[in-house]
């Protein structure tokens, strides 16, 4: 969890201060039904992006950003690589929280 906390702290303050009602969770592996393509997941955003919330959006359970420990560790080649990979996954999933989709993230190099 320390690497996740450090990754969240590395997010620029103007974005970090807008993270509200979000739980960061570490699970061992994906269940397998999270993505239709069957691709290996390192992380997952579960919730309603800020860009899709209306005036009546309140009183809901926290959004979740899930990091999958085993796939992340399997990809990392060193401790430094592990820390950077966790940071990349956290930033990627936080981007989804802000309404940035995978196509746009690809354009941005994420």
For residues 104 and 99, give the distance between their C-alpha atoms in angstroms, rounded to a whole number: 10
CA 45 vs CA 10, 52, 59, 77, 78: distances in Å: 18, 14, 19, 25, 26
Per-residue pLDDT, 70? 96
For residues 83 and 48, give the distance between their C-alpha atoms in angstroms, rounded to a whole number: 27
Q: Do the strands 22-27 and 43-46 form a parallel or antiparallel pair, or are they unpaired? A: unpaired
Give the model confidence (pLDDT) of 38-94 as tens digits.
678 999 999 999 999 998 888 899 999 999 999 999 999 999 999 999 999 999 999
* Global confidence as pTM: 0.90
Which among 70, 75, 89, 109 has a CA at the least distance from the CA of 3?
89
Domains of the chain: 2-107 (3.30.2010.20)
Residue 35, burial from CB neighbour count under 10 angstroms (0-12, 13-18, 19+): exposed
């Amino acid at each position: 969890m320390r690497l996740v906390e450090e990754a969240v702290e590395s997010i620029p303050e103007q974005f970090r201060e807008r993270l509200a009602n979000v739980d960061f969770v570490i699970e061992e592996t994906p269940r397998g039904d999270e993505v239709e393509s069957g691709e290996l997941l390192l992380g997952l955003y579960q919730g309603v992006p800020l860009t899709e919330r209306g005036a009546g959006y309140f009183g809901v359970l926290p959004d979740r950003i899930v990091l999958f420990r085993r796939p992340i560790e399997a990809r990392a080649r060193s401790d430094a690589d592990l820390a950077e990979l966790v940071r990349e996954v956290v930033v990627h999933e936080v981007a989804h929280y802000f309404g940035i989709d995978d196509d746009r993230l690809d354009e941005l190099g994420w």
